[in-house]
Amino acid sequence: MNIEYPLKAAHSLEIESIVKNLLTDKQHGLSQREALMRSKRFGLNIYKSQKQKSLWRMAFEQFNSPIVYLLFLAGFASLYFNNKVEAVAIFIVILVNAMIGFFMELQARSSMMALKKMDVSYSRVIRGGKIIEISSEGLTPGDLLFLEAGDMVSGDGRIVSSNGLQTDESSLTGESFPVLKNTEILTGKIAHIAAKNMVYKGTAVMNGNARVIITGIAENTELGKISELVGHSSPTKTPLDLKISKLTKRLIWITLVMTGIFAISGVIERKPWLQIMETSIALAVAAFPEGLPIVATVALAYGMLLMARKNAIVKKLSSVETLGGVNVILTDKTGTLTENRIFVEVLSFPSGELNVCIKNGLLECKESITEKIQENIELLVRIGSLCNNATINEQDKHKKTSGDPVEIALLILADASGFPAGKTKDEFKRLNEIPFSSETKLMGTIHQGKVGFFVSAKGSVEDLLPKCKTLQSGNTTIGISEEESAKILSQAEILSSSGLRVLAFAYRISAEMLVGDYLHELIYVGMVGFLDPPRSDIKDAIGDCISAGIKIVMITGDHPMTALNIARKVGITDMDDNKVITGSELPEMELLQEVWKEKILSTSVFARTTPKQKLEIVDVYQKAGFIVAMTGDGVNDAPALKKADVGIAMGLRGTQVAKETASIVLKDDSFTSIAQAVAQGREIFQNIQRFVIYLVSCNLSEIFIVTLLGFLAQGSMLFPLQILFLNMVTDIFPALALGLGKGDQTVMQRPPRDPKLDIISKRNWIVILIYALMMTGSVLLAIFICRIYVGTDVRIINNVAFLTLVFSQLLHVFNMSSLHSGMLVNEVTKNKFVWIALLLCFFLVALVFLFSQGRDALNLDIIPVQAWVIAGLASIVPLLLVQLYKLVFEKRSISVDSKKINTVLSN
């Protein structure tokens, strides 16, 4: 029997018809073997990759730039004036420059593809009756998909069973309100996208859960059809692209001014127009940093790969730059600051309390278990097994867990207590669920058992206890007095203050089926204290962030004392700091007075907060001028993640909605990875800034030299081909090496930079000008000495000027070390790529001089040894002067900056 796919008008068919057409099972789903066969037949659940630029197009685009047009003009002009050697040399240089750009872009594309492979989404499907987690790419027609709040829908499908399912379909319809779904058949003419018994790929589950039969994947989804109609949009320029573009325009203006001055003076002096044109071309070539955009792309891609290796997947290029400017991190507690390995530590009942642990799969108690407590344990374990969406499956002799860590801990507790969760679930068939909500902080389920209907509920103590009318003590129930209620709340407070996460459990038995809100008139059973210890490396990571001028703020939905206890242990607050603000204390945003804004900005721990309050806290910090990084994992964290300057989602326990919204995804959910990502972000920008300063200072020195020699020694002026060789060889390779460096060790010991600033600040421009003038001075010095000791031959003088500039620019790479590192041992001298680049450049220079063809192309000759010595010694002068300048003047500014940093940190 053939499968009918793609299945048309699935919303108007009976569920049994869909099951029959897709040859699936609405209870057990497909078998693993059948699913793999269908994946081979129908393909993976991915869109046809956006057609990548062909290699031919990539190669052609290397010639599509103003500087190349200018060089072509110079080449054809040389042909016109019968200077064939120069023309051929120009065309060879254009080709070589294009090849370098081509291979660099190819490398950047490969790096970006490697990053893309790391960002994989997952779906939970029921195959062979068991819930398993698979890559969303492996979803296939007929699969039974399990959805719950926080998931991204990975394919179009017909809803088989629904429990309060609401989806956000704004990405498809533009409608901002969640859509309540059902299983009813829809007849008559209806837009596919409006079917309430269907879910659609790319939408987000906001509430509830459901089982869905997949009817469409990839291009056969509504989102796929829209994508094909819309086509592919052109890539958006990142802030870094815009800053590089702004810098390039500034350099062009500098060139135009210098060229204009030279051209006017040439006309006044009645120089030949050809000479003026050649000099103008030389100036244009000198000013334009051809490798700047390519080197920036390679540096970003390489840096992002390094961040991915440190468990931080960066999804947006612009986030790399912003990350370096972050000065406040708003972080969750569970799983980020803590291990997210939940253990049951305490069982607390009205008739007594037990300190427990699970060893070798068995529950061990430090205290003796009374008959009354035993009765409560059995009830609590049953509630914990039924009011639970986690699963534990045996796979390859190993237990594969899926779901919330607290719920997994409850299943482990049930198995260790001698009441297996699987057996309990078989005895009590689930009929309905009230999903957990961050607003209510409760979850409830109703089941049909042998003696009627059983309601199980769990949630925070202060929210569940008011729903309870009586409490369980052994095999009897008694009314909850105010005194008893206060006692339970007090015990919860004590457990929370010791660092435990506390959940209360209750139940209800009814002879009739309950509908609507059945979480009332419950019987309180007890509470469980869960231990989630702080990560072993977290204190050092937070210390690094504080040293870097970054404030750490914990925002959690947990109990205030639990939050404060963890905050003290990890170093967010001092041991004697009792300041914590709860969500109930926070006024509405529109009523937020200045006094409250100051309280928020001076507080480091927020507890029992709602998603709306998280969003408002982000807004307060942003309006105060902070660059905010925000962590989150739930569907309700998405607005705050989106509003923050850098949204960071948890990769392990984070929902697909959070991951899609965030700009960074942590593969290990660890705060340490956030600290490492911030450090890497700072290093990436530092590297970009370093090679930009290197390129611009080198190019500016060429502009000065061409202009000055045009006035002072026209015959010995550098030729366009010589300048292009400088830009292509001595600029690009060292700049690329700087872009791949590791950065200095003090990057997390300084305040964050302002991401609104340009790549090159006013102070940087002064430094660049000093560097350029020193290299220019070294060339003029070499020419002056050469005229005295070697001779006045313009050809030799030109060669000495060329060699001095080559050597001084190559040695200039060592001036790019930070002021906070040593002169001989620093991040540049320890960068292996720098040494490889220098060896390659010296080899290419030697190669040009060894072969007559190379010498002829670049107007070079075999010059006297004395000329080589003069060029070598003169080229060392800028390096020595810059190092002396740093030693004398810059160290003074460091001590001033250090005092400022210490003042900021002490405040």
Kindly state whether residue 90 falls inside one of the protein's structural domains. Answer: no
Q: Are 390 and 148 in contact, with CB atoms under 8 Å apart? A: no
Strand partners of residue 729: none
Residues 261, 225 share a domain: no
Segment among 372-376, 659-663, 862-866 with least mean pLDDT: 659-663
- Picking from 669, 703, 721, the residue at the C-terminal end of a domain is 669
pLDDT computed for residue 3 by the predictor:
84
User: What's the CA gap between 429 and 75, in Å, rounded?
Assistant: 83
Average model confidence (pLDDT) for the chain?
Answer: 81
Give yes or no: residues 847 and 698 share one domain: yes
Which residue, 531, 547, 564, sits at the end of a domain?
531
C-beta neighbour count of 80 within 10 angstroms: 9
Closest CA to 541 of 435, 676, 636: 676
CA distance 59 to 722: 24
404 and 524, same domain (yes or no): yes
Cα-trace Rg, the chain = 34
Q: Is the pLDDT of residue 84 over 50?
A: yes
Q: What is the CATH number of the domain that holds 553?
A: 3.40.50.1000
Is the pLDDT reported for residue 669 higher than 70? yes
- Determine the average pLDDT of the residues in 79-97: 70
Same domain, 379 and 444: yes
Q: Are residues 323 and 452 in the same domain?
A: no
Specify the pLDDT at position 907: 38
The model's confidence at residue 104, banded by pLDDT at 50, 70 and 90, is low
Which range of residues forms the domain containing residue 188? 10-45+139-230
Domain co-membership, 626 together with 736: no
Q: CB-side exposure of 443: number of CA atoms within 13 Å?
A: 21
Residue 749 belongs to what H/E stretch? none
Answer whether residue 160 is part of any domain: yes
Of residues 626 and 634, more confidence is placed in: 626
Distance CA 571, CA 560 (A): 16
Residue 853: the pLDDT is 82
User: 780 lies in a domain?
Assistant: yes
pLDDT, tens digit (0-9, with 9 covering 90-100), for 449-501: 888 999 999 999 999 999 999 999 888 899 999 999 999 999 999 998 887 88
**Tens-digit pLDDT profile for residues 259-300:** 777 778 777 767 777 667 766 766 666 666 656 666 676 777
Residue 232 pLDDT greater than 50, yes or no: no
Please spell the DSSP secondary structure of 512-565, one letter per residue.
S---S---SSEEEEEEEEEE-PBPTTHHHHHHHHHHTT-EEEEE-SS-HHHHHH
Q: Is 157 inside any structural domain?
A: yes
* Domain shared by 367 and 509, yes or no: yes
Average pLDDT value for residue range 833-839:
92
From the list 462, 484, 647, the residue with the least C-alpha distance to 562 is: 462
904 pLDDT higher than 50: no
Cα angle vertex 336, ends 330, 338, to 5°? Answer: 125
**359 vs 107, higher pLDDT:** 359
CATH number of the domain residue 735 falls in: 1.20.1110.10
Q: Do strands 452-459 and 468-473 pair parallel, antiparallel, or not at all (unpaired)?
A: unpaired
Strand 664-666 with 646-650, pairing: parallel
The helix (H) or strand (E) run that includes residue 430 is strand 429-434
Note the pLDDT of residue 428.
94
Residue 123 has pLDDT above 50, yes or no: yes
CATH number at residue 158: 2.70.150.10
Please say if the pLDDT value at position 109 is more than 70. Answer: no
Tens digit of each residue's pLDDT (9 = 90 or more) over 546-596? 888 899 999 987 788 888 888 988 999 988 788 899 888 888 877 777 888
Q: Assess whether 376 and 407 both reside in one domain.
A: yes
The stretch 47-76 carries a mean pLDDT of 70
Residue 162 has pLDDT above 90, yes or no: no
- Cα dist from 505 to 405, 461, 532, 610, whole Å: 17, 8, 19, 22
Give the pLDDT of residue 898: 46
Percentage of the chain exceeding pLDDT 90: 26
Asked whether residue 325 falls in the same domain as residue 406, the answer is no
Report the alpha-carbon distance of residue 731 to residue 695 in Å, rounded. Answer: 6
CB neighbours (10 Å) of residue 233?
7
Percent of the chain with pLDDT over 70: 83
**Average of pLDDT values for 515-530?**
92
pLDDT at 164: 79
Residue 189 domain-assigned (yes or no): yes
Looking at the predicted structure, is the pLDDT value of residue 446 above 50? yes
Tell me: pLDDT of 44 over 90: no
Both 40 and 157 in one domain: the answer is yes
Assess if residue 704 is contained within a domain: yes
What are the catalytic residues? 332
> Which of 65-74, 428-437, 495-504, 748-757 has the lowest average pLDDT?
65-74
CA distance 532 to 535: 9
Do 348 and 472 belong to one domain? yes
Residue 75 lies in a domain: no
pLDDT mean over 597-622: 89
Q: Specify whether 367 is located in the same domain as 488.
A: yes
d(CA 826, CA 807): 21
Check whether 93 has a pLDDT greater than 70.
no
Q: How far apart are CA 454 and CA 460, in angstroms?
A: 20
Quick one: pLDDT band at residue 889, thresholds 50, 70, 90? low
Say if residue 383's pLDDT is above 60: yes
**Top-confidence residue, 396 or 719:** 719
Give the closest residue to 567 by CA, choosing from 546, 592, 588, 583.
546
Question: Which pLDDT tens digit goes with each residue over 739-789?
Answer: 888 766 677 877 787 767 777 888 888 888 989 999 999 999 999 999 898
Domain end marker among 531, 548, 582:
531
Give the pLDDT band of residue 150 (cuts 50, 70, 90): confident
Is residue 77 in some structural domain? no
Give pLDDT tens digits for 565-577. Answer: 889 889 999 887 8
Q: What span, in angstroms and rounded, lies between the C-alpha atoms of 204 and 623?
A: 29
* Span 789-817, pLDDT tens digits: 888 888 899 899 999 999 999 999 998 88
Q: Is this prediction's pTM over 0.85?
A: no
CA dihedral 881, 887, 889, 895 (to 10 degrees): 160
Minimum mean pLDDT range among 226-240, 346-360, 376-390, 809-823: 226-240
185 vs 241: which has the higher pLDDT: 185
- The tally of domains found in the chain comes to 4
Tens of pLDDT along 527-539?
A: 999 988 888 888 8
Q: Are 617 and 632 in contact (CB under 8 A)?
A: no
pLDDT at 180 over 90: no
pLDDT (0 to 100) of residue 112: 53
**Is 80 exceeded by the pLDDT of residue 511?**
yes
* CATH number of the structural domain spanning residue 366: 3.40.1110.10
Greatest mean pLDDT range, 112-116, 712-716, 852-856: 852-856
